[in-house]
Amino acid sequence: MGEIRTGRFKRRRRDFEDDLAEQSNVQFHEEVDTSSTEQKEPLKAELDDPTELRLGNRIRLENDVPRANFEDLRRISRQEYLSKREERQVLLLQAELQDFEWEIEQIGWDRLTTKEQQEYKFKKEIFSTIQERWEIEQDMETHYMLPDDYFTEDGKIDKKRKQDTLHSKYNDTAVVDWEADQMRKAVKADTRVPEKEYEFVFDSSQAVEFVSDPVDVERERLEELIAEEEERIKTIDETRKSLPVYQYRDELIKAVQEHQVLIVVGETGSGKTTQLPQYLHEAGFTKDGKKIGCTQPRRVAAMSVATRVADEIGTAVGDKVGYTIRFEDRTSERTILKYMTDGMLLREFLTDPELLSYSAIMIDEAHERTLSTDVLLGLLKDIVAYRPDFKLLISSATMNAQKFSDFFDGAPIFNIPGRRYPVDIFYTSQPEANCLHAAITTVFQIHLQQDPGDILVFLTGQDEIESMADNLAETCLKLGDQIPELVICPIYANLPSDQQRLIFEPTPEGARKVVLATNIAETSLTIDGIVYVVDTGFVKENVFNPSTGMESLEVKPCSKASADQRAGRAGRLGPGKCYRLYTKWAYLNELAANPTPEILRSSLASVVLLLLSLGITDLLNFDFIDKPAPDTLIKALELIYALGGLNENGELTKVGRRMAEFPTEPMMAKTLLTSSELHCCQAVLSVVAMLQEAGSIFYRPRERKEQADKARQQFVQTLGGDHLTLLDVWTKFVENGHSVQWCRDNYVQYKSLLRVRSIREQLERMCERMGLLDNETDLEHDRLVVGVMKSVVAGFFVNAAQLSKTGDAYRTMKKNQAVWIHPSSVLFGLKPPPKLLIYNELVLTSKEFMRTCIPVHEKWLREYAPHYYSDK
């Protein structure tokens, strides 16, 4: 019986092949008649014209293979970018599978021979792998991120090159490579099989032979792989069930069904972030075509959580599970679980103010109280009120749960225990006068007296980290062989990434690693192997003063929540110890419970503009979980009004709506909008993008200050101030092909310039869409400089300062406040000093400094801000 079946398979198969061959011929002839004579041309024409291909396939297949699944074939055919060759093989494979299925229907699965069953499974597996890959590739077409070098010299996207690259893999050889690669992976461990033989799957003539081949190494391998995959799925399932959150699954689902808002308190390791959205999905919250969204305060978190959940569900990232972060959208119309940064959800309000595409939202890590989370909470409270079908989950640490519950009118709090190892906490018996010194001593005490395990020290900033590193190194050098080796690893956000990577290197045998970190190690990154934490108990916090518009970075005692978070870093993989360099009394009585929420210490210009554009005008009564000072809101409104974003009636103007669209501060947006009128949008785009990273462009290591300063000199544009100096850095970076080496040679931070490029790209796309690039003309250098300066004036006139009569300081135009040029500015110490300048930001350190300045003419202020400076 088996023989007969095989025979028929072969026959049917051949028929099918003939059909396909005939069809290609028809296509070929048609093309010869109309156009080129080259053999390759018709295929190319086919690829260019998807309708041609679709039509051709459908007609032939419908007529001749009545049992074929036409919907699927059509869908496959629609993938017009696939090469003819690959497609043909797949169609053959599918036809074979259909024959099999027909057979199974007739006689039943159990009556197939083992070999036939295996063959069917094997082919099915391959077929679904291909389908999966196509789907992924289709995604790539839409969401493909441009690699570094797909830009033409003038900074535009090199479309041809991009397309070439996207399609290059469909060249004949590339396809073979992919196949070979897939198969090579499948038979990785076995070298006995010559490579040629396992190309059979896509080579019809050999495939038949293979089927009847009694010694079948590859298939065994593949089955092993399938078994492994099954095992993996089982393991995933077991892991999911072993999470603390699992035993509350049904209760949680019930709670969500009964209450619209639920506060979930889940400690680290409870599995809430990955599991809760899945539970909602399993409970049917995605049935009506709506999504479940989950926000994260950080980009990496959104990416990695989405990846893990996709793995658990068994889909590709971007399919059922996806994520959206700035510069990268890995979602599709099939996505039902969407992870994203909180800022991204906030932006979504601009296009979908009622979040109608979501049935539920989970705000994760709400206790961190980022600016975006706080604004979201206010907006979501509204949605909850007028969309009874909408569910909201707030996940928080224990400390803030009650506050969230109160904010949402007594929403129930659901507790999920975490899974963490115990951490012994030690306090000093009396306050330490010099905490840096105390930290060094503590490190050596641990090093000499305690069991193996790495140490993590929390310090306030780069300065402290560097001097402690020096001190530790010096002491180690003095002690020499008397103590075991101590590996010192500094880590802070501004450290170049190659040096950052050092903290992840495994500690050598017999040595101990000591990581000196800012609070980057509190939430943003986790380091394995940490057993001891030394906590100095301080943080640097940025505070914004609305009345002066001045920022200052202040060293403050950290909060209890931070201290606990820091201690927790010792108990990730096993029991740990935390040494706090302050007294228990201080912990209990002097530390605030939580850090000051960002919304209470930032400029709110962007937030206010966003709320205005959502139609929320009564800002003073907007339901913030912590209301910002009215003064801060009023200052923001005044600024938006001065920029022309609001009219006398308090309504948003066209300019205001456009400014709101830009993912920048309103002043930056206004600068961009004006640059279009001055025909210099491209240059201003570069300046604005550079300004976002202005603080971290130049790299100035302590030991090579002179070289770094010298390298910086080549960019200095005294007359154009810091803005045009930054523009020059950008231009040269582009001229040098975005080279890492060039950055190293010139003491410029590559990482920052990469970010600048992404930002610039995004802003350029927006400018293009708004038609701001239509006015662009080639300006000669001097006129370009004036254009840039005037654009800056139009956006930043509020930040004008003029030289005081004595000539030693500046006075802000509006408030007559004494300010100084920051020593890092190219205008610092210039003779004669510019009479009038505009600063990008005002910072209070040892003095009131203007950071990033540009000299301007007084008449430009009259031209662009007559309403603001009318009396002068």
Partner DNA sequence: GAGCACTGC
Q: Minimum distance from CB of 596 to DNA (Å)?
A: 10
**How many residues at the interface with DNA, by CB under 7 A?**
50
Interactions with DNA, residue window 94-113 (CB under 7 A) = none
Pattern 265-304, DNA, x by CB under 7 A:
--------------------------------xxxx----
122: left (phi over 0), alpha (psi -120 to 50) or beta: alpha
Nearer to DNA, 448 or 493 (CB): 493
Task: Kindly list the distances between the CA atom of residue 610 and the CA atoms of 395, 646, 662, in Å, as whole numbers in the listed order.
Answer: 25, 13, 10
Is residue 423 within 8 Å of 571, Cβ to Cβ? yes
Report the candidate in 339, 355, 365, 417 with the shortest Cα–Cα distance to residue 391: 355
Per rule CB under 7 A, is residue 370 in the interface with DNA? yes
- The residue from 524, 548, 731, 802 that contacts DNA (CB under 7 A) is 524
- Cβ-proximal residues to 292 (8 Å cutoff; 6+ apart), any chain: 277, 280, 281, 285, 286, 336, 337, 338, 358, 359, 360, 361, 362
Nearer to DNA, 516 or 865 (CB): 516
Instruction: Give the three-state DSSP class for 438.
Output: helix
Per rule CB under 7 A, is residue 849 in the interface with DNA? yes
**Burial class of residue 771 (count of CB atoms within 10 Å of its CB; 0-12, 13-18, 19+):** exposed
Interactions with DNA, residue window 711-770 (CB under 7 A) = none
Q: How far apart are CA 129 and CA 183, in angstroms?
A: 12
Per CB under 7 A, the segment of 36-44, 467-475, 517-525, 612-620 that binds DNA is 517-525
Instruction: Evaluate the omega torsion of the peptide bond into residue 42 and state whether it is cis, within 30 degrees of 0.
Output: no
Beta strands 836-844 and 848-855 are antiparallel
Residue 22, number of CB atoms within 10 A of its CB: 12
Per CB under 7 A, the segment of 260-268, 402-410, 460-468, 810-818 that binds DNA is 460-468
Pattern 420-459, DNA, x by CB under 7 A:
----------------------------------------
**Burial class of residue 161 (count of CB atoms within 10 Å of its CB; 0-12, 13-18, 19+):** middle
- The residue from 332, 398, 475, 494 that contacts DNA (CB under 7 A) is 494
Per CB under 7 A, the segment of 20-28, 216-224, 355-363, 844-852 that binds DNA is 844-852
Instruction: Give the three-state DSSP class for 688.
Output: helix
- The residue from 108, 846, 859, 871 that contacts DNA (CB under 7 A) is 846
Q: Nearest-5° angle of CA 660, CA 665, CA 669?
A: 60
Is residue 690 within 8 Å of 661, Cβ to Cβ? no
- Cβ-proximal residues to 283 (8 Å cutoff; 6+ apart), any chain: 253, 256, 257
Q: Minimum distance from CB of 306 to DNA (Å)?
A: 13
Per rule CB under 7 A, is residue 359 in the interface with DNA? no
Per rule CB under 7 A, is residue 515 in the interface with DNA? no
| Ordered strands of the 321-325 beta sheet | 328-330, 321-325, 337-341, 291-296, 358-363, 391-396, 261-266, 413-416
- The residue from 223, 541, 661, 858 that contacts DNA (CB under 7 A) is 541
Per CB under 7 A, the segment of 43-51, 96-104, 365-373, 576-584 that binds DNA is 365-373
Per rule CB under 7 A, is residue 824 in the interface with DNA? yes
Interactions with DNA, residue window 673-712 (CB under 7 A) = 692, 695-696, 700, 705, 709
Length of the chain as a residue count = 872
- The residue from 225, 663, 739, 779 that contacts DNA (CB under 7 A) is 663
Q: Minimum distance from CB of 447 to DNA (Å)?
A: 25
Q: Minimum distance from CB of 613 to DNA (Å)?
A: 13
Per rule CB under 7 A, is residue 548 in the interface with DNA? no
Helix ranges (H only) for 108-148 are 114-143
Per rule CB under 7 A, is residue 326 in the interface with DNA? yes
- The residue from 493, 573, 588, 592 that contacts DNA (CB under 7 A) is 493
Q: Minimum distance from CB of 726 to DNA (Å)?
A: 12
Nearer to DNA, 200 or 747 (CB): 747
Nearer to DNA, 158 or 661 (CB): 661
Is residue 663 within 8 Å of 650, Cβ to Cβ? no
Report the candidate in 579, 203, 217, 628 with the shortest Cα–Cα distance to residue 427: 579
- The residue from 90, 292, 337, 344 that contacts DNA (CB under 7 A) is 344
Partners of 358 in the beta sheet?
Answer: 291
Pattern 605-634, DNA, x by CB under 7 A:
-x----------------------------
Binding site for DNA (CB under 7 A): 297-300, 325-326, 341-344, 346-347, 370-372, 460-463, 492-494, 518-520, 524, 539-542, 553, 606, 663-664, 692, 695-696, 700, 705, 709, 822-824, 828, 843, 845-847, 849, 851
